[in-house]
Structure 1
Amino acid sequence: MVGYSHDKQDQLRRLRRIEGQVRGLQRMVEDDKYCIDVLTQVSAATSALHSVALSLLEDHLAHCVAEATIKGGPEAEAKIKEASDAIARLVRS
């Protein structure tokens, strides 16, 4: 069971909204909309994606990493490393 199972439908709803934002961006470019308006919408979509990523990370830490640390051993170390790497990727993006 994955950490986000309890709010999977909420995550899917958020991702569908982002998908709609991206389609809107495509239409804006096709319609030659003003650059700043397109950039504003890119920023909004990026922010929405970051929000989803942070929510998934929070769920991962609260469930997957917490369970692994209770068990201890190499699995715990691997989960902590995996989470740390994911955080580093988010910070760089």
Structure 2
Amino acid sequence: MLKDEESRRQVLNRLRRAQGQLAGVLAMIEDGRECRDVVTQLAAVSKAIDRAGFKIMACTLRESITGDNPEGHEQLSETELEKLFLTLS
């Protein structure tokens, strides 16, 4: 998974951004901020996590299609790939 360094960097950046946004959401709730503001930030966290998941799936698909599977990683079946897609939806 994420053999490509650029893809790995992108996923890590998205997840770090989501981590920061989630910390901000916690602070907003502790400060008693408006529901609208909290929900907007929660949506941003969710989108960042989703994008990271989709990027990981895209890399997994590319590796499956090209056969460029890292050593020690078994190739996912069509059913397993379908389940992963459904998990993100």
Q: TM-score, normalised by structure 2?
A: 0.81
Distance 1:49 1:40 in 2: 15
Counterpart position of 1:25: 25
Question: How does 1:1-93 map onto structure 2 within 5 Å?
Answer: 2=1, 4-6=2-4, 7-63=7-63, 65-66=64-65, 67=67, 78-91=76-89
Q: Quick one: percent identity of the two aligned structures?
A: 27
Distance 1:14 1:90 in 2: 16
| 1:80 Cα deviation from its structure 2 partner | 1.4
Aligned-residue Cα RMSD (Å) equals: 1.8
Distance 2:13 2:3 in 1: 14
Distance 1:45 1:61 in 2: 24
* Higher normalized helix content (fraction of residues): 1
| 1:49 Cα deviation from its structure 2 partner | 1.0
Q: Which runs of 4+ in 1 moved over 3 A?
A: none
| SS of structure 2 residue aligned to 1:5 | coil
Distance 1:38 1:87 in 2: 28
| 1:59 Cα deviation from its structure 2 partner | 0.7
| 1:12 Cα deviation from its structure 2 partner | 1.1
Count of residues in Structure 1 that have an aligned counterpart in Structure 2: 81
Unmatched 5+ stretches in structure 2: 69-73
Larger Rg over CA atoms: 1
**Structure with more contact order per residue of length (Cα contacts < 8 Å, sep ≥ 6):** 2
Distance 2:40 2:16 in 1: 19
| 1:54 Cα deviation from its structure 2 partner | 0.9
**Do the aligned residues in 1 keep the contact of 2:14 with 2:51 (CA within 8 Å)?**
no
